[in-house]
Amino acid sequence: MFAYKYLLGLLVAVVFTTSVSRAQVGNTLVLKEKGRTIQSWIEKDCITFRFSNTQWIEGKIKTILKDSLLINMYRAQQSPTMFGGFRVDTTWLGFLKISINEISGMPQSRYKSGMFTNGVLFKLGSGAYRFLNIANSIIKGLPLLDAGNSTRLLVAAGFYGIGTLQKQKHKAYLPIGKKYTMAIY
């Protein structure tokens, strides 16, 4: 009987403390890729996102509501000191209340170079091949635009064109839509 009262008292204490403490409020902003969580933010976290008018906004999350955010916007920039160095100066711009539907993109990870997806590798390889081909042709005294060499130069120019097309298709941010979604839990 004593154990039953002890367990009942313990259960009441646990239910009371979890209902009074705001430990499980559920105010979390979540970025998902095809239903899998990539990143999450809570109140007082700093966030950078692309607004629906294509403006990038930086700020500290003040409050997360059911379908909107209250963000204290800031701008951090370097300013010179009187000794010739630089320091970071933070300017607070004020509060902005937005719906999560107005977030149109999130920045890519800083640690991801995008070298394979933004066309730089194709452009760099094509330019290096063309430079070496032309330099070797001039040094060896071979004709620059004979049938075999012009075909190789055209293939290299084609790879440069592929890199240019890839650069136009590549976005430096994660667009919110089909693949990436934002939700509040």
Q: Encode pLDDT of 37-95 as tens digits.
A: 999 999 999 999 999 999 999 999 999 998 899 999 999 899 999 999 999 988 999 99
Give the pLDDT score at 17: 62
Q: For residue 20, name the pLDDT band (cuts at 50, 70, 90).
A: low
pTM equals 0.62
Extract the runs of DSSP E, i.e. beta strands, from the chain: 29-33, 36-41, 46-51, 56-64, 68-80, 86-99, 103-107, 173-175, 180-184
For residues 129, 131, 133, 136, the Cα torsion angle rounded to the nearest 10 degrees is -140
For the chain, give every domain's residue range: 2-108+173-184, 120-169
Q: For residue 96, name the pLDDT band (cuts at 50, 70, 90).
A: very high
Q: Please give the average per-residue pLDDT across 142-160, as a whole number.
A: 90
**Assigned token pair, 53:** 């008018």
**Assigned token pair, 41:** 């933010």
What is the DSSP secondary-structure string of 7-38? HHHHHHHHHHHHHHS-TT----EEEEETTEEE
Give the pLDDT score at 170: 79
Q: Encode pLDDT of 24-46 as tens digits.
A: 456 899 999 998 999 999 999 99
Rounded to 5 degrees, φ, ψ at 44 are: 75, 10
What amino acid occupies position 110?
R
92 and 123 in contact (C-beta within 8 Å)?
A: no
